[in-house]
Chain A
Amino acid sequence: MLKKIPRSNLLFFGAALLVFAIIQVAISTYMLNDFWNTILRLGAVMAIVSLGLNLIYGYNGQFSLGQWGFYAIGAYVAADITYRWTNNNDATGLAILLFGVLLVGGAIVYLRSVLGKIRGLDALSAFTMYFLATLILGIASVYIGQWVGPAITALLMALPAAVSLQIVYILAVIIAGIFAAEVSFLFGLPVLTLGSDYFGIATLGFTIIVKVLLDNSDTMLGFQEMKGARGMIGIPKITSWFWVFLALVVVVVIMRNLLHSSYGRAIISVREDEIAGKAMGIDVAEYKILAFVIGSFFAGLAGGLYAHINGFLHPNSFNFIKSFDPMIIIVLGGLGSITGTLVASFAWALLLEGVLRLVLPQGFETWRFVVYPLLLLLMMLLRPSGLLGAYEIPFLRQILPPLKNLGKTGKPEAGNAAPVQEATK
């Protein structure tokens, strides 16, 4: 079997393992202090959000400023689940959301296959049906969750505390991703019918709505533990380097596999030329939604990871101004480049949050936000295609299956193809 694994795959996973191990050892032996440890984890989280955005903007061509909103949703959803578990020893929140995302997800997939067969169904009526289904199943899952919650709590309590916390945490992060993906589906269905610029404005609006809701989460939403604009505290700090790194590798592999499949090519064709894509049989609306939902899933996942880094969430971290951060990262790294996004995300974290914070004298930290846009300006002038342009490491490159040797000598069906041969002269 080993022979069948391409060299680039072995190299990639080998290198990933090596990077993980070196940093893990450095962390364990306190060679890297907490400051740098946090920065590395933030870099990885940022990379996940930015990869999601790159799928939407870089590959699918839809200018979205909404990723920060999905990131915020993911963060608060995951934080709420683990908060309730650690502080109240109550898994009801987990049960409600788990059933919620599973039921709603199933309903969306099922409705999609049913509604897909109806010709000429407009986006708004489709949206209404999805919305009603979500509403009904959401309420149903609250009841189901409250009913089975105590049982799940008892089950988790039977396990050692550390193990049960990790289980709740992993589930919370995954639920956060799916939750964000489902919200993005409902939001994207009507909004993705807008043209690209209008879509950008609508998604910006989304991020602002999320921020306002989070500012008033204790009054408008009724989640006392989120404490609105005072910031949510008491979230367990359990996002380790291992988890963020694992999530990042999984996201990179998913992105790479997706993009090098027919579905990925369909997503890219939307960016290249929507009209030609349609004429070639690509359901453009469907692939816009697909890219948007996957990208938002990554954002929600990253949010869930982020919430457990500092153990503190404040709505100001999810301000819409911040939503330009991943946008700037993907533009710096190169639109449509996974490698570039990875490099730019870690550079963003290490330089902006790390080196500059240490190098700049006391009281001048705010100058970071002058240096950073200047860098961006220079970049746009000197390398408009991004830091690495379209470069990808071999693992992420287009891998053609062994090409048939049709090269210079190949003249298949020479007689038949004669006029075409002439046409090249």
Chain B
Amino acid sequence: MSNPLTPANENGRQSILEIQELSIQFGGLKAVNNFDLELQSHDLQGLIGPNGAGKTTVFNMITGVYTPTAGNIFLQGQEISGLEPHEINHMGIARTFQNIRLFPSLTVLDNVRIAYHAHAGYSFVDGVLHNGHFQKKERELTEKAQDFLAVFNLQDRQDWTARNLPYGEQRRLEIARALSAEPQLLLLDEPAAGMNPAESSSLMDLIHFIRERFNLTILLIEHQMRVVMGICEKITVMDFGEVIARGTPQEIQSNPKVIEAYLGPGAAALSEKFRRKKVQ
């Protein structure tokens, strides 16, 4: 599956997402300024930064919720900025939300089946008539959804109402729902928010598992440093709408700019002193 617009780079991997000089302005506020990012297939990258740095705004621009005021977003070489959110989803980007956004009063099964809508394979008229074609396709679709739930170990819950699920399972269902549309790129917005250490450990396993199983490229926003540092191969740090650092977890941890962004000016020097003391 080679795309002439996106030649495979030296590793033989393909560029999935390329963001160039992305900016958005709300009134006088530059929420995101000159944001760049490149994701290659099978990458697992993190996006971190203090609250209000513009991370979720970047996600919202990638998924079409906001239209950027400047810059480009390419999905496999195709420009996607300015498209409607559902069109972007159909092109292969799925996401989860910071505050879980399931379809609360629907069953677990229906939550997943809704995401299959574009692949339902029958027309509106078939749907109203409930004819043979509808029956066949609907059964296929339901079985597919059930298989999918089984992968996420939610099969026992299929007729539960989504809002009654325990928190961890809601998170899992949200990821399952996002993946059921078979995206290439998954955006996770603070998947570990509100989780205890044991839960976030199993979440880390889950993220590794889905990446292998569905051959995904993943970009995640996360505040829990243990999660970010534990699973991301590369991290981008934002502050006040701009990228302030980028690198491997080790590089990021010792980057004075990052420490300053998180802990305030002077903190970098302090931490340097602290480290020297420790060494002595």
Question: CB within 8 Å of B: which residues of A?
Answer: 119-120, 254, 257-258, 260-266, 268-269, 272-273, 275-284, 290, 398, 400-401, 403-404, 406-408, 410, 412-413, 416-425
Write the chain B residue with the least CB distance to A405.
B155
Give Cα distance in the complex from A278 to B86, angstroms.
5
Mask, B105-130, CB within 8 Å of A = 1, is 11101100111111010101011111
Q: Is the CB of A261 within 8 A of B138?
A: yes
Is the CB of B234 closer than 8 A to any CB of chain A?
no
Q: Is the CB of A262 within 8 A of B153?
A: no
Enumerate chain A residues within 8 angstroms of B114, measured Cβ to Cβ: 262, 265-266, 269, 277, 280, 282
Enumerate chain B residues within 8 angstroms of A404, measured Cβ to Cβ: 143, 146
Q: Is the CB of B155 within 8 A of A261?
A: no
| 8 Å CB interface, B87-113 against A | 87, 89-90, 94-95, 97, 101-107, 109-110, 113
Q: Is the CB of B86 within 8 A of A423?
A: no
Nearest CB of A to B133, in Å: 11
Q: Is the CB of A262 within 8 A of B113?
A: yes
A-B contacts besides A265-B106, A265-B117, A279-B178, 13 pairs, CB < 8 Å: A262-B122, A265-B114, A278-B64, A279-B95, A280-B89, A280-B177, A400-B159, A403-B146, A410-B155, A420-B172, A420-B205, A422-B205, A423-B206
Write the chain A residue with the least CB distance to B106.
A272
Enumerate chain B residues within 8 angstroms of A410, measured Cβ to Cβ: 150, 155
Write the chain A residue with the least CB distance to B162.
A272
| 8 Å CB interface, B206-220 against A | 206, 208-209, 213
Q: List 17 A-B contacts (CB under 8 A).
A: A120-B83, A264-B127, A275-B65, A276-B103, A278-B64, A280-B89, A281-B89, A281-B90, A281-B118, A398-B110, A400-B159, A401-B143, A404-B146, A412-B147, A416-B209, A420-B209, A423-B206
Give Cα distance in the complex from A52 to B271, angstroms.
65
Is the CB of B226 closer than 8 A to any CB of chain A?
no
- Decide: A406 near B86, CB < 8 A? Known: A280-B115, A419-B205, A423-B203: no
Is the CB of B254 closer than 8 A to any CB of chain A?
no
Give Cα distance in the complex from A410 to B203, angstroms.
22
Enumerate chain B residues within 8 angstroms of A413, measured Cβ to Cβ: 151
- Decide: A279 near B146, CB < 8 A? Known: A261-B127, A412-B151, A424-B153: no
Q: Is the CB of B65 within 8 A of A119?
A: no
Enumerate chain B residues within 8 angstroms of A420, measured Cβ to Cβ: 151-153, 172, 205-206, 209
Nearest CB of B to A418, in Å: 8
Enumerate chain A residues within 8 angstroms of B102, measured Cβ to Cβ: 272-273, 276
Q: Is the CB of B86 within 8 A of A281?
A: yes
Enumerate chain B residues within 8 angstroms of A418, measured Cβ to Cβ: 209
Q: Is the CB of B209 within 8 A of A278?
A: no
Enumerate chain A residues within 8 angstroms of B116, measured Cβ to Cβ: 262
Q: Is the CB of B172 within 8 A of A423?
A: yes
Task: Find A280's partner among B134, B168, B181, B209 (CB 8 Å cutoff).
Answer: B181
Nearest CB of B to A190, in Å: 17
Q: Is the CB of B110 within 8 A of A265?
A: yes
Write the chain B residue with the least CB distance to A263.
B127
- Decide: A419 near B151, CB < 8 A? Known: A262-B141, A265-B113, A269-B103: no
Give Cα distance in the complex from A281 to B113, angstroms.
12
Q: Is the CB of A281 within 8 A of B104?
A: no
Mask, B170-213, CB within 8 Å of A = 1, is 00100001100100000000000000000100110110110001
Nearest CB of B to A71, in Å: 22
- Decide: A283 near B84, CB < 8 A? Known: A261-B128, A262-B116, A265-B114: yes
Q: Is the CB of A257 within 8 A of B86?
A: no
Enumerate chain B residues within 8 angstroms of A262, measured Cβ to Cβ: 113-114, 116-117, 120, 122, 127, 138, 141
Nearest CB of A to B204, in Å: 9
Q: Is the CB of A416 within 8 A of B213?
A: yes
Give Cα distance in the complex from A277 to B84, angstroms.
12
Enumerate chain B residues within 8 angstroms of A421, measured Cβ to Cβ: 153
Task: Find A272's partner among B103, B127, B153, B172 (CB 8 Å cutoff).
Answer: B103
Give Cα distance in the complex from A280 to B102, angstroms.
10
Give Cα distance in the complex from A425 to B142, angstroms.
27
Give Cα distance in the complex from A416 to B147, angstroms.
13
Is the CB of B82 closer than 8 A to any CB of chain A?
yes
Is the CB of B85 closer than 8 A to any CB of chain A?
yes
Q: Is the CB of B156 within 8 A of A408?
A: yes
Q: Is the CB of B85 within 8 A of A279?
A: yes
Top 7 A-B pairs ranked by shortest CB distance?
A261-B127, A419-B205, A272-B103, A281-B89, A423-B202, A262-B120, A278-B85
Nearest CB of B to A125, in Å: 15
Give Cα distance in the complex from A354 to B181, angstroms.
53
Q: Is the CB of B155 within 8 A of A406?
A: yes
Write the chain A residue with the least CB distance to B157.
A424
Write the chain A residue with the least CB distance to B121.
A262
- Decide: A266 near B138, CB < 8 A? Known: A257-B129, A275-B65, A406-B150: no
Enumerate chain B residues within 8 angstroms of A400, measured Cβ to Cβ: 109, 142, 159
Nearest CB of A to B84, in Å: 7
Give Cα distance in the complex from A419 to B213, angstroms.
12
Q: Is the CB of B103 within 8 A of A284?
A: no
Q: Is the CB of B156 within 8 A of A407?
A: yes
Q: Is the CB of B117 within 8 A of A412?
A: no
- Decide: A281 near B203, CB < 8 A? Known: A261-B127, A401-B139: no
Give Cα distance in the complex from A422 to B130, angstroms.
40
Enumerate chain A residues within 8 angstroms of B86, measured Cβ to Cβ: 278, 280-284
Write the chain A residue with the least CB distance to B208.
A419
